[in-house]
Amino acid sequence: MPLQSSGQISLAQIAAEFGGSAPHALSEYYGDGNAPGSGEIRLGADFHGTSSGPAFVASVTSTTSNNMNYLSFNLSGQVQNNDIVIVTWASYAYCEQPGSSNGISMTTLTTGAASGPGYYTGYGTWTTGTSTTLSFNSAKSWNNGGDIAGIASIFRPSSGTMSFRAGSQGNYSYVSTPSGAPAASHASTQLSIRTISAVSTASLSAPSGYTLAGQISKSNAGDPVYAAIAYSVNPGTSVSVANFSGMTDDNIASTLLFG
């Protein structure tokens, strides 16, 4: 849990967040929070609002209409190298896996079938420096005038990089609870992500223990489409497999673990 953003911070609070060996000394925490690698460490200025775990940076949403085959997220001023980027979207009609992405190499966790409402969830580590637009191009258009609602969320490791540990998707069904989702995290899990792609008009609430990173919906000639991402930092040994609450129609829910 991040340290307070203002007021006095004690060495004991820093130790509780960042660990270390008793008796604690400030020299243990060079490079942690906003502390320098050497020299003077300031309890408040170097640790206000900091956390030992990854931080949520921002979410960017995007929509397209009427049989489009292109979806783009403008991450300008938000993303930097080694950030984890999670993308999920929903479409009223068939939504195939993108043929290519510009800005990052995405790994697909879930993608839609050849009929019914479409969905996609993927992840990647940002390594392209100044490139700040993440664009998806499909080999063919999403079919039947399928409007799309998508969201890209950015997460920043406290130091170094994070790697994908495990992931799974829930069944495509009314108010589904993800089957096969990791019931317990790996010991090294620093970030647990939950995504949902749905045919829904509702604004949903994040699963218990998670914080909503963002959500997007788009009206449609048929049913509206909806996508959302939620996260939990340093979840410990238990990862919730409950679905987003408020769901009223068909949906796919996914779990991704990073560490």
Alpha carbon 64 to its chain's center: 21
Q: How close are the terminal C-alpha atoms of the chain, in Å?
A: 16
Q: Which of 98-102, 228-232, 251-255 has the highest mean pLDDT?
A: 228-232
Integer CA distances (angstroms), 241 to 39, 134, 215, 244, in order: 45, 29, 19, 10
Looking at 20-34, 98-112, 152-166, which range is the least confident one? 98-112
pLDDT for residue 87: 92
Torsion of CA 75, 259, 55, 234, to 10 degrees: 150
- Give the residue with greater pLDDT, 63 vs 221: 63
pLDDT for residue 174: 47
> Residue 4: how many CB atoms within 10 A of its CB?
14
CB 168 within 8 A of CB 209: no
pLDDT for residue 113: 55
pLDDT for residue 46: 86
- Give the residue with greater pLDDT, 17 vs 7: 7
| Structure confidence by residue, pLDDT tens digits, 171-230 | 555 444 554 455 455 566 778 888 888 776 667 888 888 899 999 988 765 677 889 999
As beta bridge partners, residue 228 has: 196, 215
pLDDT for residue 187: 60
pLDDT for residue 154: 94
**Which band of pLDDT confidence, cut at 50, 70 and 90, is reported for residue 148?**
confident
Is 137 a residue whose pLDDT tops 70? no
Domain positions in the chain? 1-51, 55-258
Q: For the chain, what is the mean pLDDT?
A: 77
pLDDT for residue 220: 66
Nearest-5° Cα angle at 96, 122 to 191: 10
Q: What is the CA radius of gyration of the chain?
A: 20
| Half-sphere exposure for 100 (CA within 13 Å, toward CB) | 4
Alpha carbon 215 to its chain's center: 11
Integer CA distances (angstroms), 204 to 158, 162, 176, 196, 216, in order: 29, 28, 14, 10, 10
CA 199 to CA 185: how far, in whole Å?
29
CB 5 within 8 A of CB 48: yes
